[in-house]
Amino acid sequence: MTPSLPRTILFFMITSCAASAVDDGFNYDEEKVPKFTLPDPLVRADGSKVASVDEWKGKRRGEVLELFRDQMYGRMPGRPEGMRFKVFDEETKALGGKATRRQITVFLTKSETAEASFDILLYIPNGVEEPAPVFFGLNFQGNHAIHDDPGIRLSERWMDKGQGVENHHATAASRGAAASRWPVEMLMDRGYALATVYRGDIDPDYDDAFENGVHSLYPEFQGRGDNFSTVAAWAWGLSRLLDYLETDKRINAKRAAVIGHSRLGKAALWAGAEDERIALVVSNDSGCGGAALSKRHFGETVQRINTSFPHWFCENFKKYNENEIALPFDQHMLIALQAPRPVYVASAEEDQWADPRGEYLSAKGGSQVYALFGREGLVADAWPPVGKPAQEGWIAYHIRAGKHDVTDFDWRGYLDFADKRMP
Ligand code: GTR
């Protein structure tokens, strides 16, 4: 039986009290958010209203997915035919005996070339009898940066930080450099495996006219408005990582949660939309082009992101530079594409660039599709206070104190939610 939809959440109307125009600089003033109406995720292209799960699954979900593919993230290829996995490292007593460490190279083509391959770092909790649930995600600085475990292969790729930092090769000094964002022992203690891949193994994070990374394998996906973008390539890489996890006997790939921070959070959300095998999706401070509503024009804007990072989204998305009003969708519909699976959206108070309130409104706006499934989406009547996660429904949200980052506070929220909501 399909429950009726709460009328109050059919539309959001956010009005400005003061000026409707936005300053020349970036807007951090709630009063300067322009007037906008969010498209209703449940109204089909022909204007009819979706009233059942079957209609959502059979008709509307595909329409929404197509809009995002066509106008924002671009199209991605399927699983490559020649793909193979080679386990090159296994340490059963890693992390002082807490975990088994495996490292696997995924070859995307029949020939074993470095260009068409990526390395997975996997930690599996020891002493767990059943195949373990798993968190998986891309990392910014190489697998060796997530922990100071000397057994992790030092990446030989070019490292870049994406913002004016010269490309360089990793040195041993960068081992564990990002460890504060990856509390591996906490995951092991709570019975979750962790798998990660360096984003640059999938696609280097600069505008290279889509010649490098996995794009080089798919030239036919370029030179068009809905081209295979970098965010889509990262999302695609996450699906290939999940392909491996499905083959690992110590992992329960039906209980796989994707996680991503910031630009990699955008990729995690897009992966969750494209790949329904993913059981839970975590967006950590993903901001513009991720969980945050574009139409609010708050903090980072569509024009700004398309200018600083012209490779992240497809060409068609540039039509919306300083023209968010024309977008036929907004990011609440990306949240809706995760339904009925659990999704967690997290913001940080000092991360105004990512528009925390826009992330909250997006989580709220996606909730009506969960209601169609008889599940409560985000259970919060108002924007939750700082440091108080709202985890009652199938969409969780928190805003924590501090800056743009991934902290233990964030992870505890994700693990608590996974304990409760992971299938
Ligand atoms: C910023 C970018 C954001 C966010 C962030 C990050 O420069 O404007 O969209 O993705 O980088 O990835 O840390």
Distance from the alpha carbon of residue 359 to the mean position of ligand 1, in angstroms: 15
Q: What is the model's pLDDT at position 318?
A: 98
* pLDDT tens digits for range 321-342: 999 999 999 999 999 999 999 9
Name 119's bridge partners.
105
The arrangement of strands across the sheet holding 99-107 comes to: 84-94, 99-107, 117-125, 193-198, 132-139, 251-261, 280-284, 343-348, 395-400
Q: What is the pTM of this model?
A: 0.94
Asked whether 300 lines ligand 1 (CB < 6 A), one says yes
Cα separation, 39 vs 301, in Å, equals 19
Least confident among 158-167, 225-234, 317-326: 158-167
Cα separation, 406 vs 292, in Å, equals 17
* pLDDT tens digits for range 142-161: 999 999 999 999 998 878 75
CA proximity to 10, closest of 55, 70, 50: 50
Q: What is the model's pLDDT at position 166?
A: 67
Distance from the alpha carbon of residue 262 to the mean position of ligand 1, in angstroms: 6
Written as one letter, the residue type at 193 is A
Atom of ligand 1 nearest to the CA of 300: 8
Q: Is the pLDDT of residue 13 over 90?
A: no
Mutation test residue for ligand 1: of 231, 309, 350, 406, the one with most atoms within 8 Å of CB: 309
Q: Is the pLDDT of residue 70 over 50?
A: yes
Asked whether 265 lines ligand 1 (CB < 6 A), one says no
* pLDDT tens digits for range 14-32: 333 333 344 447 999 999 9
Percentage, residues of the chain above pLDDT 70: 93
CATH architecture assignment, domain 84-421: 3-Layer(aba) Sandwich (3.40)
CA proximity to 294, closest of 355, 346, 347: 355
- Residue with the smallest CA separation from ligand 1 atom 13 is 262
Atom of ligand 1 nearest to the CA of 308: 8
- Residue with the smallest CA separation from ligand 1 atom 12 is 263
Atom of ligand 1 nearest to the CA of 289: 9
Q: What is the model's pLDDT at position 128?
A: 93
Q: Is the pLDDT of residue 141 over 60?
A: yes
Asked whether 398 lines ligand 1 (CB < 6 A), one says no
CA proximity to 289, closest of 321, 251, 249, 245: 321
Q: What is the model's pLDDT at position 164?
A: 54
Residues with catalytic function: 262, 404
Three-point CA angle 296, 297, 302, nearest 5°: 120
Cα–Cα distances (Å) from 236 to 80, 203, 302, 317, in that order, read 11, 10, 22, 19
Distance from the alpha carbon of residue 26 to the mean position of ligand 1, in angstroms: 15
Least confident among 95-99, 169-173, 243-247, 394-398: 169-173
**Span 63-90, average pLDDT:** 97
Q: Is the pLDDT of residue 42 over 70?
A: yes
Contacts of 149 (CB under 8 A, 6+ apart): 94, 95, 101
Helix H, strand E, coil C: the string for 107-123 is ECCCCCCHHHEEEEEEE
Cα separation, 355 vs 405, in Å, equals 14
Quote the strand ranges of 84-198, DSSP E: 84-94, 99-107, 117-125, 132-139, 158-159, 168-169, 193-198
Asked whether 338 lines ligand 1 (CB < 6 A), one says no
Cα separation, 326 vs 321, in Å, equals 10
* pLDDT tens digits for range 242-271: 999 999 999 999 999 999 999 999 999 999
Asked whether 288 lines ligand 1 (CB < 6 A), one says yes
Distance from the alpha carbon of residue 286 to the mean position of ligand 1, in angstroms: 8
Asked whether 27 lines ligand 1 (CB < 6 A), one says no
Asked whether 262 lines ligand 1 (CB < 6 A), one says yes
